């Protein structure tokens, strides 16, 4: 039921201890706020998300000092937002029974003293993950630390509530292959109600400014001050070697959160240019990919809308080794001698796969655009070398002096009940990028051939295009047990 202004707006709890603290707060020279009370207010809000406009009930509870001397820092404590939300606000949820909901809340507040107001943003209020039941009203709670304010003159400081922003993350309870859904909800307080959260009395000080007189050095009667206080949840405080990227113009509001990964496998084939040879190596025999999907995710708010980041990892499997199938390649040494070699490309550490996608569908195309960046460190080895048909013993360790970094990018989009377009991790598609091949060392069993292969193969800006086939994802019948193998495309 919607709570209107006809109902009691605030519950104040104060006892004998609070009364004694109030007297202490009135004493000159204390320098700190004295005594506290808990103020609880219930408001009606109108909230809008991608699914439409719906009503919501919001209860705000905050512990405030009964009074504060002029110039003393006032810290609202134990801030709690109780949110009663209509299920329609969430719109389309990930498939699966009883998804889990979490996120963050930002409440715009104002502090008014002697007719002058200062805006104070209560942001970073965390909504811990809980299981929700679709099609039923949701009760969630947001808590966290908020900024301090400092009165610069005497007179009552009144805290009031304003706009509310919710950034919610819904994910499957079974940690299946479905992407988490990020829902942005904007709420406006109903006009026919009091917006008051609580009041802090600021008595006049014999040595301070006259009542109602602003402190000229403060430029106003109340000066909000944001303290560098952590509002991270336990899960966010966990350290990890993987960090979400910094997205230009965007703010990370949730995560990173680690979740159980979903296993998958598939195949990849393609071409890698060798600029110095004005030719390309063909990887015709598809490489077998083994992936761990969606082991971590985070959410951002951006000027153009919400974005979701998902981290996955992978490797390649060739006869139990983390490498692509060996490929034969022919190039010229000394500028004119035809040389054929077997090229072995081994992965030296897990492939880092990062996907960033739009949190909500584009209202025109009804699709969500996404970009995936795959970063691998690859050691290149040459063996079974023949020059003009004659074997050349290069030894077992003719390889690049260090692994090369291969960064491939794929762009695509997804939609409801429509095929994926371009590249997505699960459906596959083209991945393209450039790499710098380092110099070679260890080449030559009886003579030093390092410079020969460095001059012939090493260099910068070598274009690579790989075609990935659709994946077989654990517990998803499509493309399983053996997914299709792609063909190389130039």
Over residues 324-343, the pLDDT tens digits come to: 999 998 877 656 678 889 99
Give the pLDDT of residue 28. 27
* CA-based radius of gyration for the chain: 31
- Contact yes or no for 436/400 (Cβ under 8 A): no
Give the pLDDT of residue 214. 35
Q: In what helix (H) or strand (E) does residue 471 lie, and over which residues does it extend?
A: none
Q: Could you check whether the bond before residue 38 is cis, i.e. omega within 30 degrees of 0?
A: no
As a whole number of Å, the end-to-end CA separation of the chain is 62
Task: Please list the helix, strand and coil fractions of the chain in percent, rounded to the nearest 5, in that order.
Answer: 5, 55, 40
Give the pLDDT of residue 175. 54
| pTM score | 0.65
Give the pLDDT of residue 91. 73
Give the pLDDT of residue 207. 61
Q: Is the pLDDT of residue 377 over 50?
A: yes
- Model confidence at 224, pLDDT cuts 50, 70, 90, reads very low
Mean of all residue pLDDT scores within the chain: 81
18-27, 130-139, 264-273, 280-289: the lowest-pLDDT one: 18-27
DSSP string for 267-295 = EEEEEEEEGGGTEEEEEEEEEEEEEEEEE
Spell 392-405 as b/e; 16+ CB within 10 A means b.
bebeeebbbeebbe
Of 72, 1, 77, 84, the residue nearest 39 (C-alpha): 77
More confident position, 28 or 262: 262
CA distance 215 to 443: 78
Q: Is the pLDDT of residue 86 over 90?
A: no
Give the pLDDT of residue 427. 93
Q: Is the pLDDT of residue 65 over 90?
A: yes
Of 406, 426, 418, 300, the residue nearest 356 (C-alpha): 300
Chain segment 147-171, per-residue pLDDT in tens: 888 888 889 999 999 999 888 888 7
55-69, 214-228, 294-308, 470-484: the lowest-pLDDT one: 214-228
Max distance between CA atoms of the chain, in angstroms, equals 101
Q: Is the pLDDT of residue 428 over 60?
A: yes
- Contact yes or no for 74/150 (Cβ under 8 A): yes
**Alpha-carbon distances, residue 445 vs 219, 397, 419, 457 (angstroms):** 79, 9, 54, 19
CA distance 344 to 327: 7
Q: Is the pLDDT of residue 102 over 70?
A: yes
- Contact yes or no for 443/419 (Cβ under 8 A): no
- Contact yes or no for 221/151 (Cβ under 8 A): yes
């Amino acid at each position: 039921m919607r709570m209107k202004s006809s109902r009691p707006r605030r519950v104040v709890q104060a006892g004998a201890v609070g009364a004694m603290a109030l007297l202490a707060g009135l004493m000159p020279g204390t320098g700190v706020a004295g005594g506290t009370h808990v103020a609880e207010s219930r408001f009606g809000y109108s909230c809008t998300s991608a699914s439409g406009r719906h009503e919501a009930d919001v209860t705000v509870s905050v512990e405030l000092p009964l009074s504060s001397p002029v110039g003393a820092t006032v810290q609202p404590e134990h801030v709690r937002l109780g949110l009663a939300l209509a299920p329609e606000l969430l719109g389309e949820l990930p498939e699966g029974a009883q998804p889990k909901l979490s996120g963050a809340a930002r409440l715009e507040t104002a502090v008014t003293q002697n007719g002058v107001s200062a805006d104070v943003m209560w942001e970073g209020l965390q909504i811990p993950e809980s299981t929700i039941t679709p099609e039923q009203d949701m009760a969630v709670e947001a808590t966290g630390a908020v900024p301090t304010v400092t009165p610069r003159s005497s007179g009552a400081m009144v805290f009031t509530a304003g706009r509310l922003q919710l950034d919610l993350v819904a994910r499957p309870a079974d940690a299946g292959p479905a992407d988490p859904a990020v829902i942005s909800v904007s709420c406006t307080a109903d006009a026919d109600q009091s917006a008051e959260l609580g009041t802090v009395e600021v008595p006049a000080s014999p040595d301070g400014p006259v009542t109602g007189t602003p402190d000229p050095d403060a430029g106003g009667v109340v000066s909000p001050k944001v303290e560098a206080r952590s509002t991270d949840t336990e899960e966010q405080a966990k350290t990890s070697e993987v960090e979400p990227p910094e997205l230009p113009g965007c703010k990370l509001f949730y995560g990173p959160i680690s979740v159980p990964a979903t296993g998958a496998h598939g195949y990849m084939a393609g071409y890698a240019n060798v600029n110095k040879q004005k030719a390309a190596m063909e990887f015709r025999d598809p490489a077998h990919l083994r992936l761990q999907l969606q082991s971590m995710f985070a959410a951002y708010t951006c000027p153009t809308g919400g974005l979701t980041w998902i981290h996955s990892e992978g490797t390649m499997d060739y006869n139990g080794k983390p490498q692509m199938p060996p490929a034969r390649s022919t190039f010229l040494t000394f500028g004119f001698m035809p040389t054929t070699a077997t090229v072995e490309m081994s992965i030296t550490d897990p492939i880092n796969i990062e996907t960033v996608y739009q949190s909500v569908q584009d209202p025109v195309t009804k699709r969500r655009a996404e970009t995936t960046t795959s970063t691998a460190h690859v050691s290149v080895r040459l063996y079974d070398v023949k020059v003009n048909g004659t074997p050349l013993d290069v030894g077992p360790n003719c390889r690049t002096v260090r692994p090369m970094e291969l960064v491939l990018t794929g762009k695509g989009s997804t939609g409801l009940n429509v095929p994926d377009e371009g590249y997505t991790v699960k459906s596959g598609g083209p991945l393209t990028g450039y790499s710098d091949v380092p110099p070679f060392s260890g080449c030559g069993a009886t003579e030093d051939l390092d410079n020969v292969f460095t001059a012939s193969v090493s260099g910068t800006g070598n274009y690579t295009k790989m075609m990935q086939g659709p994946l077989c994802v654990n517990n998803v019948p499509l493309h399983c047990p053996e997914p299709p193998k792609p063909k190389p495309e130039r």
